[in-house]
Structure 1
Amino acid sequence: MAASVTDLGYSATTVAEIVRRARTSRRTFYENFSDREACLVALLTETNRQAVDTISAAVDPSAAWETQIRQAVHAWITNAESQPAVMLSWIRDVPALGLAARRLQREVTESFITMIRTLSDTAELRSAGIAMVSRQRAIMLIGGLRELTAMTVESGGRISDVSAEAVDAAVALLGPPSAPGNQPAALSD
């Protein structure tokens, strides 16, 4: 599935293409998956589990808070760059798929929220005045990174090309509150 999505995209991937690339039979495919969507869900379940593990392992909780954020964002980018077409399929194709894919999307988003909140709950971040990241802010970070990743891949760019901007945005979003007087003006109606 990953190879076919990389070469053809999910919409052009067929069960025949998957079994041809896997050098297996349709029978074996259907013993493991009910359809190609189930196969994609299995691929993305494993891909996202590995991403959470990789990002979590990349962050040194004793490092300075800026370094921790940089480590996490760079791990996100490295992970996304390892399979950009699969990442793009995750971001663009899954929302249009069935119930199992939508359930996976919610579960994975929850796992990333939990990871971000766990990574932000360190003594180093607390000493810098950074409270555990709120659920809402974690969602904003995830959504921003996902969309930046998708738009970069779709435009033919490399995800690493936006690394500095992604780190700067994450630092601004997750860093300590601004000093009084440096707060942004409230939005008016």
Structure 2
Amino acid sequence: MMLTLKSLPKGRHNLSRAQVEASQRTRLLKAAVELGTERGFAPLTLTDIVRRAGVARSTFYEYFADKEQCFLEAFDYAASRVLERVLALEPPPAGTSPVHAYIAKLLELCVQEPGLVRLVAADAEALGPAAAERQRAVRDRIADGLVRLRDFLRRDEPKFAPISHIRALAIVGAITEVLRHTFYASGIDALPKLQAELAAVVLALLEAPPA
């Protein structure tokens, strides 16, 4: 399964310049995610990226200096998608535990945009030192988001204990490893079946006594 890169409407449309630019930049980032995780970064060419994104070569240079900048910024795009879609500071649906609700949103995003799973869960060292550093920064951002989410939920549920950045990072690492193993062993369609097990793992790490 692959990300869907929708082109802008042909001919006249009602999109603002800002909307057009946002669409073009996002398609380029998604193309870099797809291709970088499908083929590896080293053999990736600028022609590959613009062809997959469906934009002109000149358009690429309006947003990025080179393919490396595009690929590295794709990591920030991945982190932003997780933070916006999964760790949004909002109450879970009534009758649903917070952990199960957020794990469900994560798995939904993974199925919709499997390239993000590959990017965040890939063996970063194989991508090169710059990408490895950016991947670590992504996991730090997600861990920080998890700490903030826990603090947000504690406003209504004081029984929840706060969590440290280290514990949040351990949770991110555990989820990442399970997603990576399942993705490469069984394929994208197996991810939704992980909800109960992932929730159990996250709950165990969240509620463990402090050191």
Pair in the same fold by TM > 0.5:
yes
Partner of 2:171: 141
| Paired amino acid for 1:159 | L
CA deviation after TM superposition for structure 1 residue 99, in Å: 5.2
Cα distance change on mapping 1:31 and 1:4 into 2, 3 Å: closer
Partner of 1:9: 38
Note the alpha carbon deviations across 1:125-171, whole angstroms, 9 max, x for none.
Answer: 432xx321122211110001111111111113321121110011111
For residue 114 of structure 2, the aligned residue among 84, 92, 99 is: 84
TM-score, scaled relative to structure 1: 0.76
Cα distance change on mapping 1:5 and 1:53 into 2, 3 Å: closer
Q: Indicate the larger mover: 111-120 or 14-23.
A: 14-23
Question: What count of residue pairs does the alignment treat as equivalent?
Answer: 175
Is 1:150 aligned with 2:180? yes
> Runs of 5+ in structure 2 lacking a partner?
1-27
More contact order relative to length (CA 8 Å, sep ≥ 6):
1
Alignment RMSD (CA, Å): 3.0
TM-score, scaled relative to structure 2: 0.69
> Runs of 5+ in structure 1 lacking a partner?
179-189
2:78–2:120 Cα contact (<8 Å) kept: no
Partner of 1:174: 206
Is 1:26 aligned with 2:57? yes
Note the alpha carbon deviations across 1:75-118, whole angstroms, 9 max, x for none.
Answer: 22222222113321332154434554344323322221221111
For residue 75 of structure 1, the aligned residue among 105, 114, 117 is: 105
Partner of 1:120: 150
Partner of 1:185: none
Note the alpha carbon deviations across 1:47-96, whole angstroms, 9 max, x for none.
Answer: 321210112337517978x8111112222222222211332133215443
Partner of 1:187: none
1:4–1:18 Cα contact (<8 Å) kept: yes
1:73–1:166 Cα contact (<8 Å) kept: yes
**2:123, 2:167 → 1: CA distance?**
24
